[in-house]
Amino acid sequence: MLITQLKKKEEILPFLKAKTLLVACFGCKEVFFPEKEYQNIKEEFKKLYPDLSGEIVLDYLCNEDYTAKRLELYRQEIEKAETMVVFACGVGVQTLAGLLASKTVLAGCDTFYLPGFSGFTPSSYDCEQCGECRLSSTAGICPVTACSKGLLNGPCGGAKNGKCEVSKIKECGWENIMNKITTTGKVAEKLKESVSIRDYKKSQ
């Protein structure tokens, strides 16, 4: 089981623009989601940004096939949106970022560890429940699990032909992150962001 916690309001506010779509995952009862806090913060956001593009509420966002089907119902809203702020566990955010590769998908929650079930697709979309979700800066690819060294500030430089220097069968997570950032045209903006040191206490 996992626990998700909303990021601080000050962390989310810079993400919000007129063309921002909020996406929330309520359905997975194996992940504790702070639904009441989400409803409160959503109302605050709407007052501050009356032109927010809208909201999609789904369940089991981490189930890729199911989510892909459900998203078809919201095609128009998604087309209009430039940015999507996702309130779900790290697995859910990664699933959406994978399905909507041309959109900027940002994490509205941090995910914390509790022993037990962790979503339907944990092997494809790993989340180590680090408690400080970085997916907003890494194009929706988790640097903690995609990089063998869990580096947060860029590639180590040891990759060869796209493979990690630690394991020849593993892709370099940071090459994938940089490729995705580059293809979505966000590279300059992202490279300016500073990276805080990881607080390992949060993943215990």
Sites of contact with ligand SF4 (CB under 6 A): 90, 110-111, 127-130, 133-135, 142, 144-145, 147-149, 151, 155-156, 158-159, 164-166, 172-174
**Closer residue to ligand SF4 in complex, CB, 77/128:** 128
Kindly report the number of other CB atoms within 10 A of residue 27's CB atom: 17
In the complex, the smallest distance separating the C-beta of residue 11 from ligand SF4, rounded to whole angstroms, is 13
The token pair that represents 137 in the structure block? 């800066």
In the complex, the smallest distance separating the C-beta of residue 14 from ligand SF4, rounded to whole angstroms, is 18
The token pair that represents 22 in the structure block? 């909020």
In the complex, the smallest distance separating the C-beta of residue 72 from ligand SF4, rounded to whole angstroms, is 25
Helix (H, G, I), strand (E, B) or coil at 167: coil
**Closer residue to ligand SF4 in complex, CB, 22/172:** 172
**Closer residue to ligand SF4 in complex, CB, 52/107:** 107
**Closer residue to ligand SF4 in complex, CB, 108/173:** 173
Q: Which residue has the tokens 């490729």?
A: 179
Question: If you write DSSP's letter for every residue of 40-80 in order, what string do you get?
Answer: HHHHHHHHH-TT--EEEEES-TT-HHHHHHHHHTTHHHHHH
Residue nearest to ligand SF4 (CB): 90
In the complex, the smallest distance separating the C-beta of residue 177 from ligand SF4, rounded to whole angstroms, is 9
In the complex, the smallest distance separating the C-beta of residue 168 from ligand SF4, rounded to whole angstroms, is 10
Q: What are 107's strand-pairing partners?
A: 86
Q: Closest Cα partner for 7 from 135, 98, 138, 154? A: 135
